Amino acid sequence: MPATTADEDDPKAASRTDAQSQADPPRLTARRGRRAKVVRLAATGVILLVAFVAAVFVWDFYVVAPWTRDGRVRVQVANIAPQVSGQIVDLRVQDNQFVHKGDLLYVIDPVDFEVAVTSADAEVKNREADLQVKNAQSARRQALTTVSTSVEEKQQYAGTAKIAEASLESAQAQLRQAKVNLERTQVKSTVNGRVTNLLMRVGDYARTGTSNISVVDTDSFWIDGYFEETKMANVHVGDAADIKLMGYASHLTGTVESITLGISTANAAASTQGLPDVNPVYTWVRLAQRVPVRVRIDHKPDDVPLVAGMTATVVVGTGRAPLPTWFMDLRDRVAGPTARAADGQVEADRR
């Protein structure tokens, strides 16, 4: 006979086993469902917390913090003009060449000025000889005590000697001027910097007071940040500034040096009667005015070149961390076209 189990012999035990096997899966599924719900709620809470922190961060930097994408690299340019006129006979520099203060840039034909120096020197020698003669004559007349030499004659000879002395001084002054003009035929750089947009060549005629060569003063770079007027309350002279040039990951550091006290406005133009000409505005959006803030550059990484006109993002605030690169890149990707269009309109209005 085949063997049988206890469950098979006991129908009640078999029914209990079947009931337990049917009840366990629903309870296990319920527990798993509750755990999954808790995990989902926790994940939702974490996401909401991260979103809140991110919103606070974005609000602080994008709305409250004084920062602007509308910054420009600025520089002084030395427009060098000759102090004498003449033909250029020697050009010592090339376009974009770096020069030091006092370096020779070009030479004006010195022949006429050398002749002037020689002529002035000869005139000085002539006046010196004439003065010696006049002084000797005056001395002899002053020594005579005879009645034939009157007081009037003595005064006349003394006056002649003084005239000769004055003529000598005039000749010496002309000689000094001639030598100075000869030195000025060598036109030198007045700053440390880089020659830019060089268009002259040997044979050109240089005219007194007319600029013909420009040197970018590399010691004078600064940043102009154009901040919205709504953020100017948080900008102060002496505040630290973080600067990022477009296209470069490294940051520059600087200090707010000064704040412009006036900007032009189209509505300030006077009418024919001298009254302000205020044009009606029909736009629904009012753009905040941009106020220029001058920032001194304190530190520049070696891998970041400075070129006048480059675009910069400027963040101002002592103790405030700079805007992260990822945030700026994300902002440019999301709102870049609109922001660039707005900045372009502001730049056009400012011009």
Q: In terms of pLDDT, which residue wins out, 322 or 170?
A: 170
* Predicted model pTM: 0.69
Strand partners, 244: 251, 313
Q: Give residue 6's pLDDT.
A: 47
Higher pLDDT, 15 or 83: 83
Q: Which two tokens stand for residue 63?
A: 């709305």
Torsion of CA 84, 90, 94, 97, to 10 degrees: -70
Binned at pLDDT 50, 70 and 90, residue 1 comes out as very low
For residue 314, pLDDT over 80 is answered with yes
d(CA 141, CA 149): 7
164 confidence band (pLDDT: 50, 70, 90): confident
Q: Which of 40, 95, 125 is nearest to 214 (CA)?
A: 95
**Ordered alpha helix ranges (H), 99-228:** 111-143, 151-183
What's residue 90's pLDDT? 97
Among 60-64, 76-80, 98-102, where is mean pLDDT lowest? Answer: 60-64
Mean pLDDT of the chain: 81
Fill in the DSSP letter of residue 267. Answer: G
pLDDT at 151: 62
Residue in 247, 225, 253 with CA at minimum distance from that of residue 314: 225
pLDDT at 319: 47
What pLDDT digit, counting tens, does each position of 241-273 carry? Answer: 999 999 898 999 999 999 999 888 777 777 777
| pLDDT at 208 exceeding the cut of 70 | yes
In percent, the amount of the chain with pLDDT more than 90 equals 48
159 or 329, greater pLDDT: 159
Q: Nearest to residue 110, comparing CAs of 133, 128, 132, 84?
A: 84
pLDDT in tens, 85-103: 999 999 999 999 999 999 9
For 222, the token pair is 């600064």
Q: 139 or 178, which is more confident?
A: 178
